[in-house]
Structures are given as structure tokens and as C-alpha cells.
């Protein structure tokens, strides 16, 4: 399985690095898994919301799963807001969706999916500050949930929920025991039921 985590100028740091850490750790001994950070349009050097400079050698390709991070979304001139306004990533995800096992978002990454019409009429969650906007887009908002799994759409709440999102995906795509071992290694106590993840 190939998972691509998309980065762009102004992405929230933990939205990217938390799931990346979990997924890399969980699949380190699985050669059939490949977890990558990618740009939107191709190779890129981007700066996170907290000033971390990241260089990626490739753009969004033909993965099995995609993770979209969040960031500031209301300002169309910067961060996630600029990517929503540009529309390129949203259009690419819409085109890829029929071939993907799933699209996942962390925090306000759900707002980009909403702008692309990918959450309309579907259960979803995002950062508490964006819940009203997500609901206004037509999503069936699930306040208070850490991770909402609707099969081909998996969304996670606020910033730290990226850890639970990734553990959920590990439990679902591999098995709950691998997710539990990964959480134990990272010294993190999941705030979700990993056994339930495997049954979705």
C-alpha cells in the first residue's frame, strides 16, 4: 500500500508529522507499504505554518491512500486557504477518488475536502473551530469525535488527532495489534477504540 501525505506552504506541522511518524513506525518492516510526503504539483520545497522547511522529491501520484493536513483555512491568501482558493489539490483528489482506497484529512484539512465536494452528505469531523463551516458545506458533522470513518473518507478532529487517525488506519488496514504495538512504542495512549477501527 502506498500512502501519500500532501504538503504545501502553511500546512500545520503536527497534522503532517504525527501521522507520518505513526505510519512509518507501524510499517517499517513491511516492504509492501510505502509512506511518502509529496507536493501538490510535483517536487517542491514548502514551509510549514511553524517555519519548518520541507523538500519533497515528487508530487501527488497514484497512491492507495492520501492524507490531507490542515492549517489556517479562512484566509485565501495563505496556507490551506490559498490551496482551497487555488482549487488544484481539490480537483486532483476528486479525480483520484474513484481509484483510492480512502482519502483522509487531519484537522482543517477537511475544509479542503469540503470545498471539493468530497464531504457533502457524509459524516465527518474537523477542528472544533471549523465545525460550523464544515456543517454549512453539507457534511454530516460529528462533534466530539476524534476519527470519523466513512469507508473511503476518513476525517480526524483537531491537531493531535492525526496520531489517532494514523493508528486507526493501521488497525483498519493491518490489524489492531500492530496499531497497539506502535502506540506503545511511541508512548502514546490512543483516544479511540483500535478494535473498532478494524471492524469498519
The Cα–Cα gap between 50 and 139 comes to 29
Residue 121 backbone zone (phi > 0: left; psi -120 to 50: alpha; other: beta): left
3-state secondary structure of 90: helix
CB of 35 within 8 A of CB of 17? no
DSSP 8-state secondary structure symbol assigned to residue 126 = -
Catalytic residue status for 107:
yes
- Alpha helices, DSSP H, located in the chain: 13-26, 79-86, 88-96, 109-115, 131-136, 161-173, 176-185, 194-198
Q: Tell me which of 16, 38, 103, 107 is the catalytic residue.
A: 107
Strand partners, 196: none
Q: Could you give the residue numbers annotated as active site?
A: 107
Amino acid at each position: 500500500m502506498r500512502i501519500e501525505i500532501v504538503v504545501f506552504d502553511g500546512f500545520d506541522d503536527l497534522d503532517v508529522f504525527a501521522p507520518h511518524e505513526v505510519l512509518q513506525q507501524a510499517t517499517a518492516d513491511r516492504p509492501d507499504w510505502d509512506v511518502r510526503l509529496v507536493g501538490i504539483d510535483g517536487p517542491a520545497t514548502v514551509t510549514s505554518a511553524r517555519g519548518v522547511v520541507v523538500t519533497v522529491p515528487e508530487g501527488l501520484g497514484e497512491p492507495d491512500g492520501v492524507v490531507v493536513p490542515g492549517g489556517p483555512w479562512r484566509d485565501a491568501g495563505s496556507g490551506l486557504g490559498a490551496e482551497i482558493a487555488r482549487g488544484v489539490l481539490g480537483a486532483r483528489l476528486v479525480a483520484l477518488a474513484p481509484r483510492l482506497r480512502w482519502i483522509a484529512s487531519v484537522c482543517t484539512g477537511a475544509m479542503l475536502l469540503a470545498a471539493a465536494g468530497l464531504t457533502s452528505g457524509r459524516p465527518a469531523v474537523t477542528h472544533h473551530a471549523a465545525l460550523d463551516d464544515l456543517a454549512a458545506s453539507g457534511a454530516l458533522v460529528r462533534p466530539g469525535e476524534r476519527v470519523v470513518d466513512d469507508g473511503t473518507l476518513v476525517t480526524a478532529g483537531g491537531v493531535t488527532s492525526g496520531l489517532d487517525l494514523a493508528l486507526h488506519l493501521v488497525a483498519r488496514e493491518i490489524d489492531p495489534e500492530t496499531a497497539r504495538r506502535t502506540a506503545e512504542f511511541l508512548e502514546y495512549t490512543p483516544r479511540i477504540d483500535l478494535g473498532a477501527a478494524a471492524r469498519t
